[in-house]
Amino acid sequence: MERLVNPALSNLPAFLVQNGGLNSGFMIAHCTAAALTSENKVLCHPSSVDTLSTSAAKEDHVSMGGYSARKCLEVISNVEVVIAIELMAACQALEFHRPCRTTVPLEAVYDLIRSAGVDPYDEDRYIAPDIDKVTDLVRSGAVWRVVEPYLKQREESQIDEVSPIDMMPRGDILTLSRKL
């Protein structure tokens, strides 16, 4: 996510929005994703290290398996939200590269997210409903269903991936190479 929202790393507008300063774009969504990722690091701390002696010291070690399972479910839920935010940011980044296209499966994911009512960010708006919509797409398996056929086809035929740079008009490639 940092590589997309940081203009020094992406050559895109800061926080993936025009008129930075007036609009905060994906700044808060980035903070949300980072906070959930940090929460996951805490949740991944082994529960078994917090075991206490029980049953008059006859049972001095318990697995804490039930609690570990609940923490695992929370990690999964957080990861689904982080993936949703990253997908939204990726779609927004694509807006700045139009009319160029990316790979077929990524365009399909882009179309899925836009068809769910998550519009490009031209100016700030309440982002939580969009995060919820894309999280629902991740949780329902809709994102997977869009890319799965392509992945199966790629496995079966060993298709070489076409780089997005291969799809750029020649003038854009020359401009990009001068920046590097």
Residue by residue, pLDDT tens for the chain (180 residues) are 999 999 999 999 989 998 877 888 999 999 999 999 999 999 999 887 877 777 777 776 777 888 999 999 999 999 999 999 999 999 999 999 989 999 999 999 999 999 999 999 988 899 999 999 999 999 999 999 999 999 888 888 865 555 655 555 555 545 555 555
Residue 24 maps to a domain = yes
Residue 14 maps to a domain = yes
Residue 111 maps to a domain = yes
Radius of gyration from C-alpha coordinates of the chain: 21
Write down the pTM of the prediction. 0.81
Residue 55 maps to a domain = no
Residue 16 maps to a domain = yes
CATH number at residue 84: 1.20.200.10
Q: Which domain holds residue 118?
A: 2-50+61-179
Residue 167 maps to a domain = yes
- Read off φ and ψ for residue 20, nearest 5 degrees: -55, 145
Scanning the structure block, which residue is given the tokens 């020094």? 8
Alpha carbon distance 129, 119 (integer Å): 11
HSE at residue 30, side-chain half, CA atoms within 13 A, is 17
Residue 134 maps to a domain = yes
Alpha carbon distance 149, 144 (integer Å): 9
Residue 102 maps to a domain = yes
Alpha carbon distance 39, 75 (integer Å): 8
Domain count, the chain: 1
